[in-house]
Structure 1
Amino acid sequence: MELKQLEYFQMTSRLKNITRAAKRLRVSQPNITVAIKKLEAELGIQLFDRSQKQLSLTPEGAVFLNRIDLALRNIQDAVLEVNDYKKLQKGTIKIGIPSMIGAFLFPKIFSSFQQKYSHLDIYLYEEGSMTIREQIERDELDFGIVILSGASSSLELLPMSKNQSVACLPLEHPLAKKKSIAISDIENENVIMLKDGSYLRNLLMQKMNNENIKANIVLESNQIETIKGLVASNVGMAFLLDFVVKDTPNIKVLPFEDPIFVDVGLAWKKDRYISKAAQSFIEFCQDTLK
């Protein structure tokens, strides 16, 4: 049994697809297929149910995955701890950032941190807040600068700012004359939505469903400047955080009648070894807040 076999099995289990797992791990699809078949032969069990289009774990496969997740996590922590013990001068940090936060908040943090810790390599991954939080829980990322509201108890959280979700409308939109907007006002309106995996999208969809409100979603995008341009061009309304649209020309910004506030901050997984590189980033963010 080889470490690569276990890693291939773990990633395929998460993505439920060999092709996507191969792409994520940057190996060929046959490599993963052969490795999993060898693993199954060695264990004498079938790990995946291949009768459907999407792979699913057999009961034996699910039990095996639970053990493998723990074993691989311990190996990763051991490598980090040994590298720290050797006092390596090089380190890496993998950070997930939603496009909204990435474009308007993170550059200031990153530039200051890079100046102070130029020997560290930082890799950025852009996804929605909910997706990033799941990736941290699966040990795929070290940190996320995300919306913290509703985060799992398995994550450590460092709040950095409190922000308000607002409606963004074209200046000539009939609703732009109002001082605030209600969920019911969205009924049948053209809306530009953030993509799946976004906390704000999920929150708004829940509120609309609770009131049986249906909007006409004309476009989905995580490109904030594109969304603002579409709003200004009268394509539809959108829902973003206040600091993103502050002083944006040709857009009317309205709060909700029942205000929606969210905390933005740093999230990382509890009960994991924290490398010196990662610890330096936590301490930098704490000092920045002071």
Structure 2
Amino acid sequence: MDLRQLEYFQMVGKLRSITRAAEQLHVSQSTVTLAIQKLEDSLAIQLFDRSQKQFSLTTEGQVFLQSVADILNRLQDATAEIQKYRQLQKGTIKVGVPPMIGSFLFPEILAQFTLLYPQLQLSIIEESSFALRQLLERGELDLGIVNLYQPTLLLETIRITTEEIVACLPLKHPMANRTTIDMKDLQNEQFILFKEGAYNRHVILEECKRHGFAPNILLSSDQIETIKGLVIKGVGISFLIRAVTRQNSDFAAIHLSNPLHLQFGLAWKKDRYLSKAAQAFIKFITEIICPPNTIR
């Protein structure tokens, strides 16, 4: 049994004539007759009553015709649905975003992408870069925006932006008016850092270690606004990327004398199938957001 046999059977069943069915299908009568015979042989049942001049469906043929109509309608709907995906009229992209990117860069990316592809939906998962890398490597995400701190053979990446880490101090802090600050000057402060797994936290801890001290970590959080609020209230100090602090005048954002930077990029698993929607997002990032020559 094949699809063409079902289509021929449906047309003959509808018109009650092989001749008229052949004309509608633009094939020979013998082609239609052979297809019907093969279909009956494969089913081991007679679909048409041939005792009269005009074909008529048997009881079994009537039942089968209803099922065939449903099958062909479903196939037509499925084909139309796939065409929507192919033409980017429909689709969902599962994208992972770390907290800091989610607070400043991703809203701009999302707004521009939505203007270009209003029919596509982005499903956002917010996790640390380390967690997102694992999800990408396991194939549980289509794409992810991650810190490019360590090359990996499993992921393809495109660099999006490089951001400076700044020290965030309460406005009443004695060092709040400085233009730069050395990490060793902060060794007696209470630190508010991102949770384990965040590369921002790793960078700060390594810098403290390089200056010969282990910081007093008062609190860990993945919520940008929580961290900002605690700094504003003088609970402790923190370290955020410069882009996150530009719109804030409630606390001091000070450059480190030994500048630290984070590189963010779009990543996806090398051997994972990418939908048309995911390919469109990568193309969008490559052509509109990224600097040239940044695909690794």
- The TM-score, its normalising length taken from structure 1, stands at 0.67
1:173, distance to aligned residue in structure 2 (A): 1.1
Give the SS at the match of 1:258. Answer: strand
Q: In 1, distance between residues paired with 2:153 and 2:206? A: 21
2:270 maps to 270
1:159 maps to 159
1:124, distance to aligned residue in structure 2 (A): 0.6
1:221 corresponds to 2:221: yes
Give the SS at the match of 1:121. Answer: strand
CA contact 1:96–1:127 (8 Å) conserved in 2: yes
Mapping of residues 253-268 of structure 1, within 5 Å: 253-268=253-268
- Cα distance per residue 1:27-78 (max 9 Å; x no partner): xxxxxxxxxxxxxxxxxxxxxxxxxxxxxxxxxxxxxxxxxxxxxxxxxxxx
* 2:147 partner letter: I
Structure 2: gaps spanning 5 or more residues: 1-77, 291-296
1:193 corresponds to 2:224: no
Aligned length: 209
* 2:255 partner letter: P
1:130 maps to 130
1:53 maps to none
Quote the RMSD (CA, aligned, Å). 2.2
* 1:87 partner letter: Q
Q: In 2, distance between residues paired with 1:174 and 1:125? A: 39
Rg bigger for which structure? Answer: 2
1:75 maps to none
Query: Residue 83 of structure 2: which of 67, 83, 87 is its match?
Result: 87
Q: In 2, distance between residues paired with 1:175 and 1:151? A: 37
Range 109-118 or range 240-249, more displaced: 109-118
Q: In 1, distance between residues paired with 2:217 and 2:260? A: 21
1:178 maps to 178
1:144 maps to 144
- Cα distance per residue 1:95-149 (max 9 Å; x no partner): 1111111121111111221232232232111111121112111111111112222
Q: In 2, distance between residues paired with 1:112 and 1:248? A: 24
Q: In 1, distance between residues paired with 2:103 and 2:229? A: 15
Give the SS at the match of 1:174. Answer: coil
2:71 maps to none
1:240 maps to 240
Q: In 2, distance between residues paired with 1:137 and 1:256? A: 34
1:284, distance to aligned residue in structure 2 (A): 1.0
2:102 maps to 102
1:243, distance to aligned residue in structure 2 (A): 0.4
Structure 1: gaps spanning 5 or more residues: 1-81
1:177, distance to aligned residue in structure 2 (A): 3.6
1:261, distance to aligned residue in structure 2 (A): 1.6
- Cα distance per residue 1:75-99 (max 9 Å; x no partner): xxxxxxx99x943433221111111
CA contact 1:188–1:214 (8 Å) conserved in 2: no
* 1:125 partner letter: I
* 1:253 partner letter: A
* 1:286 partner letter: T
- The TM-score, its normalising length taken from structure 2, stands at 0.65
CA contact 1:148–1:267 (8 Å) conserved in 2: no
1:119 corresponds to 2:119: yes
Q: In 2, distance between residues paired with 1:108 and 1:177? A: 31
CA contact 2:192–2:236 (8 Å) conserved in 1: yes
Q: In 2, distance between residues paired with 1:86 and 1:222? A: 39
1:283 maps to 283
% same residue: 42
2:202 maps to 202
1:271, distance to aligned residue in structure 2 (A): 2.4
Q: In 2, distance between residues paired with 1:100 and 1:205? A: 18
Q: In 2, distance between residues paired with 1:263 and 1:112? A: 21
CA contact 2:205–2:215 (8 Å) conserved in 1: no
1:256, distance to aligned residue in structure 2 (A): 1.4
